[in-house]
Structure 1
Amino acid sequence: MLAVLNATFPVFALILAGWLAARRQLLGPHGGDVLNRFVIYLALPALLFHAMTQVRPDQLAHGGYVLSLLIGFMVPFAIAYCVKRPPGTRRTDVAIEALANAYANAGFMGIPLCLVVLGPDSLAPAIIATLMTACVLFGITITLIEFDQHQGQHPVRTVLKTGRALLRNPLLISPLLGLAWAGAGVPLPLALDRFIVLLGDAASPCALVAIGLFLAQAGAGGAPSTVARIVFAKLVVQPVVTAVLVLMVFDTPPVWAWTAIIMSALPIGTGPFMLAQMYHRDAQASSRAILVSTVISVLTISALIALIQHQGLLRP
């Protein structure tokens, strides 16, 4: 329980800090917009770029592990597309909800939690899970959103405009540039590396403060049924699917298997909220789902840690 509280308390505290700042009007009427732009165009691209520069080919050699994570992402992701919706619902909104169904708070909570529970052997699989969450899921969602933004035009024109929009999107191009840098085998100069790390480290805390600002300014909102559906898909469907795959389908080393399960059982990260803000869509459901899933995860992850302890894998 202490490990879970240590991982979740900073999330609550940062959201609360943003909420209090909005209530006291410490950042002014446009503070939330400025903070969102900082995260979207500077901090988060730096984080994604640096993460991808750290990828090694041998880390991606565990095909069963990677496939388990991918299928574990896509099953809850697809749930959003199976829901009957009112006529005229934008596909952009469906894509953002689909992202929320599968986007874990991997970097901010997942890696520290895995290190506490499973020890340093869990670092490599936790990093892979974080990269896939931040890059693969983001890439799929942004592609779907951009196609929706340019629909209704000639198919060729739609493809060209979507391609140009994707190439200009900092959240998609930054991990691709990072992967290209890693493939070149050239280490980042120390000064540049420190700059990117410092900038990237600001992404998660600033995003969480921005959520607090938004919650305070938006008031009550977000359909309870939508929030409940998102939280169920994230905290129940994704970890169950992932667990079945790593424990029963693929031959996965125990530490890697339980790392995958922990990472899939995490509450929702800030990615869906950031995309909703970036594309000027309603962010109430995603922001409240982040808060609710984080609260509930204190219980669900504690139960998961108890199960890991029963398996004899808990770090002494």
Structure 2
Amino acid sequence: MSTVLNVLLPIFGLILVGFVCRRTNRLGPTAASEMNRFVVWLGLPALLFSLTAKADWAHIWQPGFLLAFTGGMLAVFLVTLVYRWKTTGSLVDASIDGLSAGYANTGYIGIPLCVLVLGEDGMAPALIASLLVVCVLFGLALVCIEVGLQSRKGLGGAIAQVVMALLKNPLVVSPLLGAAWALGGVQLPAALDEFLRLLGAATVPCALVSLGLFLAQRQSGPSEGAWPLVALKLVLQPLVTWFIAFVLLDLPAFWAHAALLLSALPTGTGPFMLAEYYQRQAALVSRAILFSTLGSLLTLSLILLAISP
């Protein structure tokens, strides 16, 4: 139990610091947005570029892990999408709800958690999962939203819009550039390596404090239906991933544990940003993020106890 506390307390302690600082007005209403901009545009891209530029790609390429994590993620997204589409009649709202149920917070919580639990090698599965969440799940949700809005450009135009949006996303571009650098076989210059190290080192604390600032913001509007999304995220997704990783594929312990941990993460802020961008009701998404973050204290603790030697 002490191992679980040693892993989770620093992570959720930083989230709590951000939450308290916002609620006590030590940091202002724009602090979450500005700190998040730093993480998205500077800190995390630097970390992702550095990791992929120096990565052993033969070690990272793990089809079983890809199948296990993606299978759980897409299963929950599609189940939620179909159910909510039938009950609400809105493909746009159903897509955002599906994203809320399947969008794991791999960047802000997954990276520090995997490193603490699995060691420095834990950065590799966290990196892969982050790319899958951003490129696959987020892209699929964007296509569904654009189709639901009956874009004048049609499905082809919606897909083109998604591709362009992904190519402008620093969290997608930076690891692709890092991979290209690695393929070139050139070692990072010492000055550039140190620059990226310093910038990347600020990512985790800033990301977690930023998440706490975001969770402290009060959202208006109806929030009924948040708990079913939380249950899908924290219970169904890890169960599906566990079945694929441990039963169907019998993955090596390291990759199976990584897939399970990453699938059990709470909902990230991506669905909220998408709801805000498309001017949809964001209160439900905000509550799902808050409740899943709090609930993950219990579920992650149980998983850590189960996989600990």
Structure 2 equivalent of residue 133 of structure 1: 129
Letter in 1 for 2:36: N
SS at match of 1:83: helix
Q: Do the aligned residues in 1 keep the contact of 2:235 with 2:264 (CA within 8 Å)?
A: yes
Once the two structures are overlaid, the 10-residue window that deviates more, 72-81 or 194-203, is 194-203
Q: What is the Cα deviation at residue 138 of structure 1? A: 0.4
Task: State the alpha-carbon separation in 1 of the partners of residues 88 and 233 from structure 2.
Answer: 26
Q: How many residues are treated as equivalent by the alignment?
A: 304
Q: What is the Cα deviation at residue 135 of structure 1? A: 1.0
Q: Do the aligned residues in 1 keep the contact of 2:48 with 2:175 (CA within 8 Å)?
A: yes
Task: State the alpha-carbon separation in 2 of the partners of residues 216 and 36 from structure 1.
Answer: 14
Q: Do the aligned residues in 1 keep the contact of 2:114 with 2:123 (CA within 8 Å)?
A: no
Provide Cα deviations, 1:182-207, integer angstroms capped at 9, x if missing partner: 22222222222232233233334333
Q: Do the aligned residues in 1 keep the contact of 2:275 with 2:281 (CA within 8 Å)?
A: yes
Task: State the alpha-carbon separation in 1 of the partners of residues 265 and 150 from structure 2.
Answer: 34
Q: Do the aligned residues in 1 keep the contact of 2:108 with 2:207 (CA within 8 Å)?
A: no
Letter in 1 for 2:295: I
Task: State the alpha-carbon separation in 1 of the partners of residues 115 and 35 from structure 2.
Answer: 30
Q: Do the aligned residues in 2 keep the contact of 1:47 with 1:199 (CA within 8 Å)?
A: yes
Task: State the alpha-carbon separation in 2 of the partners of residues 53 and 43 from structure 1.
Answer: 16
CA 1:11–1:37: 2 relative to 1, 3 Å:
same
Structure 2 equivalent of residue 153 of structure 1: 152
SS at match of 1:40: helix
Task: State the alpha-carbon separation in 1 of the partners of residues 90 and 204 from structure 2.
Answer: 30
CA 1:9–1:292: 2 relative to 1, 3 Å:
farther
Structure 2 equivalent of residue 57 of structure 1: 57
TM-score normalised by L of structure 1: 0.78
Task: State the alpha-carbon separation in 2 of the partners of residues 82 and 66 from structure 1.
Answer: 24
CA 1:161–1:250: 2 relative to 1, 3 Å:
closer
Does residue 143 (structure 1) correspond to residue 142 (structure 2)? The answer is: no
Q: RMSD over aligned Cα, in angstroms?
A: 3.3
Q: Do the aligned residues in 2 keep the contact of 1:14 with 1:212 (CA within 8 Å)?
A: yes
Provide Cα deviations, 1:64-88, integer angstroms capped at 9, x if missing partner: 2322222122112223312325767
Task: State the alpha-carbon separation in 2 of the partners of residues 187 and 274 from structure 1.
Answer: 37
Structure 1 equivalent of residue 265 of structure 2: 266
Task: State the alpha-carbon separation in 2 of the partners of residues 98 and 294 from structure 1.
Answer: 17
Task: State the alpha-carbon separation in 2 of the partners of residues 239 and 294 from structure 1.
Answer: 15
Letter in 2 for 1:131: L
CA 1:50–1:153: 2 relative to 1, 3 Å:
farther
Provide Cα deviations, 1:39-83, integer angstroms capped at 9, x if missing partner: 332223333333332432312443223222221221122233123
Once the two structures are overlaid, the 10-residue window that deviates more, 267-276 or 172-181, is 267-276
Does residue 27 (structure 1) correspond to residue 27 (structure 2)? The answer is: yes
SS at match of 1:218: coil
Does residue 40 (structure 1) correspond to residue 36 (structure 2)? The answer is: no
Does residue 254 (structure 1) correspond to residue 253 (structure 2)? The answer is: yes
Q: What is the Cα deviation at residue 210 of structure 1? A: 3.0
Task: State the alpha-carbon separation in 2 of the partners of residues 94 and 248 from structure 1.
Answer: 31
Q: What is the Cα deviation at residue 279 of structure 1? A: 6.5
Task: State the alpha-carbon separation in 1 of the partners of residues 305 and 60 from structure 2.
Answer: 29
Structure 2 equivalent of residue 12 of structure 1: 12
Q: Do the aligned residues in 2 keep the contact of 1:23 with 1:216 (CA within 8 Å)?
A: yes
Does residue 211 (structure 1) correspond to residue 229 (structure 2)? The answer is: no
Task: State the alpha-carbon separation in 2 of the partners of residues 28 and 270 from structure 1.
Answer: 19
Letter in 2 for 1:293: S
Task: Kindly report which structure 2 residues correspond to 1:144-183, keeping only aligned pairs within 5 A, or say none.
Answer: 144=140, 146-147=142-143, 148=145, 152-155=151-154, 157-183=157-183
Provide Cα deviations, 1:246-303, integer angstroms capped at 9, x if missing partner: 2221142234323332332233345545555676665544444343333333332333
Q: What is the Cα deviation at residue 137 of structure 1? A: 1.2
TM-score normalised by L of structure 2: 0.79
Q: Do the aligned residues in 2 keep the contact of 1:223 with 1:285 (CA within 8 Å)?
A: yes
Q: What is the Cα deviation at residue 159 of structure 1? A: 4.7
Task: State the alpha-carbon separation in 2 of the partners of residues 195 and 279 from structure 1.
Answer: 36
Q: Do the aligned residues in 2 keep the contact of 1:8 with 1:109 (CA within 8 Å)?
A: no
Q: Do the aligned residues in 2 keep the contact of 1:268 with 1:289 (CA within 8 Å)?
A: yes
CA 1:305–1:183: 2 relative to 1, 3 Å:
same
